[in-house]
């Protein structure tokens, strides 16, 4: 005798049981109301399989909690949020590809505006970082790890 697991739906009262384990030869057991039950493919799943199938979960960026690639990671992140903020709800807003690219462009533009407000351009920022590096290298006790071209080729005599 073999067993089978299906989601069953009652034909009379409409009750749906997502996981019913029964003998294949005997057929689905009757409902509590006494009605006949049929296999409901829309509501059944095998009890041994849990979680989402491959490719069914859309990755979600949870900010400081990281990117959730699976439903389990998402559930873990939501439970962490609920622990930290017990009287709040978690609401997700979808973001299209165009909205994300416009948001990134706005971030870049704000960065450019802040540099412009300080009267900095890319050349000046590079000069400032080079100057800071040179001053750091001139500090006492600092060893130079970068080799010069002459040291790489061999000491010229």
Convert the pLDDT of each residue in 22-32 to its tens digit: 888 888 888 88
Convert the pLDDT of each residue in 107-156 to its tens digit: 999 988 988 888 877 788 888 889 988 888 888 776 656 666 666 666 55
Domain borders along the chain are 3-39, 51-92
> Is this model's pTM higher than 0.85 or not?
no
Structure tokens at 17: 């049981």
Determine contact, residues 31/15, Cβ cutoff 8 Å. Answer: yes
C-alpha neighbours within 13 Å on the C-beta side of residue 99:
4
Cα(137)–Cα(139) distance, rounded to whole angstroms?
A: 6
């Amino acid at each position: 005798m073999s067993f089978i697991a299906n989601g069953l739906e009652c034909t009379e009262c409409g009750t749906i049981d997502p996981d019913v384990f029964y003998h294949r030869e005997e057929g689905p057991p009757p409902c509590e109301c006494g009605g006949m039950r049929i296999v409901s493919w829309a509501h059944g799943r095998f009890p041994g399989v849990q979680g989402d199938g491959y490719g069914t979960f859309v990755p979600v960026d949870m900010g400081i909690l990281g990117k959730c690639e699976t439903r389990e990671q998402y559930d873990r992140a939501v439970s962490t949020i609920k622990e930290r903020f017990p009287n709040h709800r978690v609401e997700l807003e979808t973001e299209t590809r165009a909205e994300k690219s416009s948001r990134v462009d706005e971030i870049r533009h704000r960065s450019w505006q802040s540099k412009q407000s300080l009267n900095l351009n890319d050349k000046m920022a590079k000069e400032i970082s080079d100057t800071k590096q040179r001053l750091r290298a001139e500090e006492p006790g600092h060893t130079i790890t970068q080799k010069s071209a002459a040291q790489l080729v061999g000491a010229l005599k």
